Amino acid sequence: MRLIAVVLLLLLSAAPAQAASGTYIRVGHFSMDQARVEVSLDGTKLGSFDYAALDDYRRVAPGEHVVEFRTADPNAPLLRSVLVQAGEGKAYTVVDLASSMKVLEDDVSLPVNGQARLRVINGGDAEMDLVRAGAFIHRTVQANSSTGYVVLLPDDDPLQVLPRGKDSTQLDVTIEPGAVYSVLVSARRIELRTDAKGAEVVPGGGQETGFGGMAGGWDWLSALVIALVVGIAMYSVRGRMFRFG
């Protein structure tokens, strides 16, 4: 039994810390010069992205990753690309705005004191304001730009998107405590995307992928140690049965 305890201690020490929740990348197409693009991450095709599309987060290994956009013509040259320097435990949104690729670092950490965090990605063609209950959350957000995050109190008051020279849009949403959001503005639609909920929640329902190697890093070791623990336990129980049988 002492040996089992030692092996269990080794297993716990091999497990990654909960604070390192993984590294994530998601991709969006918000440049109006192309109605549709073909997207790849590290040479692996992610599919066709229509204008105003934002993919879910994909788990990757920390390090360098390349996002490439091409037109629908398979023989067409590379349209645009960007290199992402992904840090351990970080999340990133890669978008094209006005034909330019941008890498946004997403602050998906837990907002303090039960508050929430919100930013705007404006892929539309007009400057805009974001208002809640008569108060500005983001003001004078330029077309084809993104804002930093602001901290705000949870509430179910609607959000008002006020683009210059255009009709306003009301988002009937509930801002929850401990959540992180992005308001996505485009000429096609306006929506609120939940980036994260709580300190331990994977942002956006992140998907495991093989990009850049094994993201977990210790799965094979834990499986081996667990099998060893089970084998030792069974051997110990069998020995006791023979002694007392």
The CATH number assigned to the domain holding 80 equals 2.60.40
- HSE at residue 155, side-chain half, CA atoms within 13 A, is 11
Per-residue burial over 37-57, b = 16 or more CB atoms within 10 Å of its CB, e = otherwise: bbbbbbeeebeebebbbbbeb
Are 115 and 180 members of one domain? Answer: yes
Residue 236 has a pLDDT of 56
Question: What single-letter DSSP state applies at residue 144?
Answer: T
Read off the pLDDT of residues 21-35 as tens digits, 9 standing for 90 and up. 689 999 999 999 999
Residue 243 has a pLDDT of 53
Are 51 and 87 members of one domain? Answer: yes
- Does 49 have pLDDT greater than 80? yes
Are 194 and 206 members of one domain? Answer: no
How far apart are alpha carbons 86 and 211 in whole angstroms? 12
Residue 173 has a pLDDT of 95
Are 27 and 82 members of one domain? Answer: yes
Report the percent of the chain where pLDDT is more than 90: 67
- Does 103 have pLDDT greater than 50? yes
Strand, helix or coil at 112? helix
Residue 234 has a pLDDT of 54
Q: In the chain, how many domains are there? A: 3
Are 101 and 28 members of one domain? Answer: yes
- Does 145 have pLDDT greater than 80? yes
Residue 73 has a pLDDT of 82
Are 100 and 211 members of one domain? Answer: yes
Evaluated on CA atoms 172, 175, 176, 181, the torsion sign reads positive
The count of other CB atoms within 10 Å of the CB of residue 129 is 17
Per-residue burial over 69-85, b = 16 or more CB atoms within 10 Å of its CB, e = otherwise: bbeeeeeeeebbebebe
Strand, helix or coil at 203? coil
Are 46 and 93 members of one domain? Answer: yes
Are 98 and 205 members of one domain? Answer: yes
Domain range holding 226?
A: 1-16+218-245
Residue 7 vs residue 98, higher pLDDT = 98
Model confidence at 76, pLDDT cuts 50, 70, 90, reads confident
pTM: 0.74
Are 124 and 95 members of one domain? Answer: no
